[in-house]
Each structure stands twice: as C-alpha cells, then as structure tokens.
Amino acid sequence: MNNSWRVSLYIFVFLMTFGALISICPGQQISAVFIEKALDDPAKIDYRNITLEDAFDSLRKQIGIPFEVDRTALAQLPYGQLTTLSSVQLQGMSWRDALRELLKPLALTFQPGADRIYILGTDALMRQPRRLNLIELDSLVRLQNSNLNDSDKNLLHQIRQITNTSIFRLIEIDQHVEKAHPDSVNKSLSSYAQPASKVLDIYSRRVLPNKYKLEQPGAWYIRADMVNGQSTSIDIVILPAVDLNLLKLQRRINISFKNQPIQNILYELANQGALGINFEPGCFTLLDENLVNNFSLTMRNATIKDAFEEIAGLTGLDPKPVPDGIHILAGKTLLEKAAERERQAAQAANPLACVIIAKLPGTEFETMIFVREEELRQAGVLEKYREFQKKNIAEFIRFLRIGDQTVPVIKK
C-alpha cells in the first residue's frame, strides 16, 4: 500500500512537471492560437465620442490581448491617437470582423501576431506625404471602400458616381485633366469589382510611362484644397514616385539620438517619413567603427531631409530618393577615404625598400625613385638586396663604434 502511494505521487509529480514544460516551451504558439480563438469570439462594441487611444485601451481589456499601434500610421491621421470615433455600435459578429469595421473609417488594418495584435496603416494611408485632415481621410476611405469595374471606361466619372462625391479632380504632374488616359484606364479596370484605390494604384503606375513617356512609375495621393475650412475640391494627385518621396522628406520632426547604431537611426528617420529604406551592400564597412555603433544626432523642428543631409555630412553616406523610398549609398568622399585607407594598408603590407636619387640624363634635375619590396621580389633580387642592405648596415654600425673619422663608402 505504501509503495502504491509513492508510485502515484511520482506519477503526479511527473505529470505536473511535464505539463508545466509543455505550457512554457511552446509559449508563442499557444499565444498565437489564443489570439486567433479570441478573434473568433463574439464581439460587442458600443463607443461614443471616444479617442482612438481610449478605444484601443478598452479593446485590450475586453479581448484580453495587448495592442501595438504603428506610430507612423498614427502620425498620418488628423489628430494621431487623439483622433475621435464619434459613434460605433457593433455586435452579432466576431472580434475579427468587428475590428475590421472599427478600423475601416480610419484607413487602418490589423495583423494578429505571436503575442499581440498589431494595428497598421493601409498602403494607401502610408503613401500620403503628410498628416491628413478629416476631409482627406474621409475621401481616402471612400476610395478604399468603393468598387470599380470596366462597365464605365470614364474612370473619374465612375469614382464620382460610386463615392457619391462630385468634387474629385484628377491632377497629373500638376496638370488638371478632365478625363483619364484611355489606354491606361483600359489596362487598369477589369470585369471584376476592385477598390477604387487599387485601380488608382494600377492607373498611376501606367499613365506616366504611357502618356508622358516617363521611365519611372507614378504614385497617387489625396489633397483637399481648403478655403475657410471648407474643401473646394478634392484632388487625386498623380506624380512620379520619387517626387512623392521628396514630399515625404519635407515632414518636420524633433529627434534626439545619443550613442546609437547609425543604421538604427536611418531606419527611424525612414519610418517617420513612411518611407522604405535599403542600403548599398558594404556601405557601413567603409565607415569608422565608432561612427557605425555610436552615433549621436539631435535636431529640432527640422525636416527629415535635413536629418539625412546632416548624417551625410558627418559620415559620407549618400541618401538617394528612389521610387520605393530611400537608398543609402557610400558617397564620393567616403569612397575616397576608403580608397586612401586601402592604399595605406597596401603600403604597410608592401613596405618601402629604398629610395634611389638619380639625375635625369642631359639635365641638372634630380628625381627620386621609390622602390618597394614587392617590386624587388617580382624582379627576383629581393634576397640579394637584403644581403646588400645587411652588409652595409653592419659596416655603418662598426664605423659608429670605432669612431673612425672616415665616412664609410657604401658600394652597390
């Protein structure tokens, strides 16, 4: 009986320990599954005049899952995290669908993660070159949630009709056009319905090469012309993608970095401008190691462009706007410094053997010829030169020791 009790105790301890290990080891998988299950649970939302910040705090308590909101996406909204949701009542659906409906009027979306839910900006929102006002945000949301097809080849007319807004205008490279380019429209619209924002993506990429013979694709953004707080027109502005990124670089920022890796600082600057960023392979290896890992930068009321230019001046890196964001290259000065370091390293590895001073034939001018060990090695006389050098150094040392007044003659 006593042994049976001990066996039972051992089994109990084993099961408890094994169960604890199971619950600890694959924690992220269980968290991800928990999030997916929570998103499928029934939802109930009843918000009135609540800020976005308070709404996410309430959702965290209701669903039991932390939320992480992309700061750059918030910076695109009229009042950031203080943007107000006037009235939202949602029930009879899952949290997954409720979140989608809640975020739709803000041009936001969400992505379940391993241990939290990420709130992100839609592509169209992140494309905008600056913080939107309320009218621009409403127009952007209309374009994202209104479907177009090829039943009407007049793109602008169809946008006005479906969005129920008559003041949309199309601006192509600073030119107001009454009708979209037919060939580009034909290649942008299809028989199945797709969001107007998606159609504009396709149209923008095609119209600049097709109509204006530009090599790079276009991109679009929303701009409301305001007079006395009222919009006189809402423009869909299409321009080269690089030009749109140049507009993003004009955003004003306040930053302070102390002893940070320079690559992290560059990522943060690009993030604040909603810009993609990539790096020329090996560009950081050309920098002094102290610059790479311990860089400091403080700027107040400066543009993102100012910050990039400051870094360029201090490091020799060269930020170039490209259609998909910013490309960081090694600038001319940095390349020259790197070449000089390579030259010095090569000289250290190939030391100077001797200097020959000779008169130029037929003149009174003298020239200096620098001879390096590698050159003597290639000529097959390095060992002979070393014997010659050793012998003459020995003779000079002997002269110094005996105090002979006659200067030794070194024969070659």
Q: Looking at residue 243, what is its pLDDT? A: 95
228 and 140 in a common domain: yes
Q: Are residues 109 and 139 in the same domain?
A: no
* Per-residue pLDDT tens digits for 39-84: 999 999 999 989 999 999 999 999 999 999 999 999 999 999 999 9
Please give the average per-residue pLDDT across 118-134, as a whole number. 95
Judgement on whether residues 140 and 112 belong to the same structural domain of the protein: no
pLDDT given at position 21: 38
Give the number of domains in the chain. Answer: 4
Decide which of 255 and 402 is more confident. Answer: 255
Distance CA 377, CA 276 (A): 52
**Whether residues 183 and 139 fall in one domain:** yes
Q: Is 204 within the bounds of a domain?
A: yes
Q: Which two tokens stand for residue 309?
A: 């230019």
User: Is residue 350's pLDDT more than 80?
Assistant: no
pLDDT level of residue 402 (50, 70, 90 thresholds): confident
Domain boundary (121, 149, 184) is at 121
Q: Over range 289-316, report the average pLDDT.
A: 94
Report the candidate in 241, 222, 243 with the shortest Cα–Cα distance to residue 233.
222
Task: Note whether residue 254 is domain-resident.
Answer: yes
Whether residue 316 sits in one domain with residue 232? no
Inside any domain, residue 301: yes
Q: Could you tell me if residue 268 is inside a domain?
A: yes
Q: Is the pLDDT of residue 253 over 90?
A: yes
Lowest mean pLDDT among 35-44, 169-178, 349-358, 370-379: 349-358
At 236 the pLDDT is 95
Same domain, 143 and 117: no
Confidence (pLDDT) at 403: 66
Region 337-352: what's the mean pLDDT?
74
The pLDDT-based confidence of 103 (bands split at 50, 70, 90) is very high
Bridging pattern class, strands 67-69 and 117-121: parallel
Q: Which residue has the higher pLDDT, 355 or 149?
A: 149
Predicted local distance difference test score (pLDDT) of residue 401: 80
The residue out of 207, 223, 240 marking a domain boundary is 240
Judge whether residue 294 has pLDDT over 70: yes
Residues 233 and 186 in one domain: yes
Both 75 and 147 in a single domain? no
- The CATH number of the domain holding residue 101 is 3.55.50.30
Residue with more model confidence, 95 or 215: 95
**pTM, two decimal places:** 0.75
Q: Which two tokens stand for residue 385?
A: 């030169």
Q: Are residues 170 and 226 in the same domain?
A: yes
Q: Does the residue 157 lie in any domain?
A: yes
Domain annotation covers residue 21: no
- As a whole number, the mean pLDDT across the chain is 86
pLDDT above 80: residue 215: yes
Model confidence pLDDT, tens digit, residues 179-212: 999 999 999 999 999 999 999 999 999 999 999 9
Judged against a pLDDT cut of 60, whether residue 117 lies above it is answered with yes
Instruction: Give 343's contacts (C-beta < 8 A, 6+ positions apart).
Output: none
In a domain, 410, yes or no: no
226-235, Cβ contacts within 8 angstroms, sequence gap of 24 or more: 226/133, 226/135, 231/135, 231/167, 232/167, 233/167, 233/168, 233/169, 234/135, 234/136, 234/139, 234/165, 234/167, 234/168, 234/169, 235/168, 235/169, 235/170, 235/171
Instruction: Say yes or no: 70 and 117 in one domain.
Output: yes
Structure tokens at 394: 């020995």
74-78, 246-250, 288-292, 355-359: which has the minimum mean pLDDT?
A: 355-359
pLDDT at residue 221 above 80? yes
Whole domain around residue 170: which residue ranges?
A: 134-240
Q: Which residue, among 108, 114, 96, has the nearest Cα to 29 in the 3D structure?
A: 114
Residue 283 has pLDDT above 70, yes or no: yes
* pLDDT score, position 7: 43
- Residue where the block lists tokens 């952007």: 140
7 belongs to a structural domain: no
**Of 63, 89, 121, which marks where a domain is finished?**
121
